Structures are given as structure tokens and as C-alpha cells.
């Protein structure tokens, strides 16, 4: 069964700072949105699986964000925590259309 998604406007592309996170709330979900140095925009769950650190406040390096609490390294493309730590966060598909950034979230 195919999941139905909604495409939600979250920001203008030019308003997203490079290599810094932005917290966005959609319904009951809080997302961390990142404009990477390569120009790609990624969105993940804004909560580290370790102790719930706010990932949008973490340091960004390449395709990874470091949790501000205990420095866990999380890939913003696939959501996987990097070894030696373990875990993952939910990822969300993003698109950029005419300078507008959208994220896809499951229909309620």
C-alpha cells in the first residue's frame, strides 16, 4: 500500500543559512532542516536517538550533523548514526522549486 504524503512549504531556499540547522514544526513533528555546503537541502527528525538532543542546534560538516549534547554523528541523508554509536533518525524528502523549499510528510 502506497503511503500518501503532503508537500509542505518550509522556507525560501535563499533564507536557509549554509551549514546551519533550522527547526521546523509540522503538525506534531519537529524537523531539523539543513542547507548543506553542496547546496542540497536535507530534513530529519530534530531529536537525537541517544538523549534527545536538538539536532538543528548541532554542528554541520558535509553530510553529517553532530548532536550538541554528546557529539553523536548523524548522516542527514539516510538518518544513520555513525559508528561506534548506533541508531537512526527519521528522514524526510525535500524538494526545491523556484527558490521555495518543500518537505514531504505522511498524511495524517
Q: What CATH number has the domain bearing residue 49?
A: 2.102.10.10
Q: Give the global pTM.
A: 0.92
Say how far apart CA 32 and CA 55 lie, in whole Å. Answer: 6
Q: Which domain holds residue 96?
A: 5-106
Average pLDDT for 78-85: 94
Q: Is the pLDDT of residue 1 over 70?
A: no
Handedness of CA 50, 88, 105, 61 (dihedral sign): positive
CB 74 within 8 A of CB 44: yes
CB atoms closer than 10 angstroms to residue 102: 18
Q: Write out pLDDT tens, residues 20-69.
A: 999 999 988 999 999 999 999 999 999 999 888 999 999 999 999 999 99
- Number of domains composing the chain: 1
Average pLDDT for 62-88: 94
Nearest to 67 by CA among 84, 83, 49: 49
CB 60 within 8 A of CB 20: yes
Average pLDDT for 84-89: 94
Say how far apart CA 102 and CA 62 lie, in whole Å. Answer: 21
| Residue 48: all three cell numbers together | 537525537
Amino acid at each position: 500500500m502506497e503511503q500518501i504524503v503532503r508537500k509542505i512549504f518550509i522556507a525560501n531556499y535563499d533564507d536557509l543559512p549554509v551549514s546551519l540547522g533550522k527547526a521546523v514544526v509540522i503538525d506534531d513533528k519537529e524537523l531539523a532542516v539543513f542547507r548543506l555546503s553542496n547546496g542540497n537541502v536535507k530534513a530529519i527528525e530534530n531529536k537525537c536517538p541517544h538523549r534527545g538532543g536538538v539536532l538543528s542546534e548541532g554542528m554541520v560538516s558535509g553530510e553529517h550533523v553532530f548532536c550538541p549534547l554528546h557529539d553523536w554523528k548523524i548522516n542527514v541523508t539516510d538518518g544513520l548514526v555513525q559508528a561506534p554509536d548506533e541508531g537512526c533518525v527519521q528522514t524526510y524528502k525535500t524538494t526545491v522549486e523556484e527558490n521555495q523549499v518543500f518537505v514531504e510528510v505522511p498524511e495524517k
